[in-house]
Amino acid sequence: MEITSATTAGKANYVKGLDDEEAEEKKTQETTAEENAVQETEPDKVTLTQDDTYDEAAVEEKVNNYIQNFLANPKLTAEARAALQTYLNDFDAAAFIKSYGPFESVRDISAAMYAVTAGLIKYQEEE
């Protein structure tokens, strides 16, 4: 009988230990669920860091490539070619980024360039 009670006491302590672990795990899961719920209810916030955006040198390179693609078109009028070349020669990357940036992708730069140069680009067929 003494062995049985010792065994029963040991089992009781073991089961108690399991119950404590399960309660702690459940509490951790609830805390995680609450944190996720708080994050889901907050509006999407976009924080741009220096690593996420293009710097002046990269923007200048992309703008140069954008303009060069138009200048390579043989159907571009002489006036449009001159206007694009003048824009490229006078291009200020810092002012461009300040006006239209910050840029997260090449697509953003292209969209801004389209807005700036749309009136400058004329083809011979359009005259």
Q: Is residue 37 very low, low, confident or very high in pLDDT (cuts 50, 70, 90)?
A: low
pTM (predicted TM-score): 0.54
Question: Can you spell out the DSSP letters for 59-88?
Answer: HHHHHHHHHHHHHT-TTB-HHHHHHHHHHH
- Tell me the two tokens of residue 127: 């005259």
CB 93 within 8 A of CB 63: yes
pLDDT in tens, 85-110: 999 999 898 888 888 878 888 899 88
Exposed e or buried b per residue across 92-114, where buried means at least 16 C-beta atoms within 10 angstroms of its C-beta: ebeebbeebbebeeeebbeebbe
Tokens of 65: 């490539």
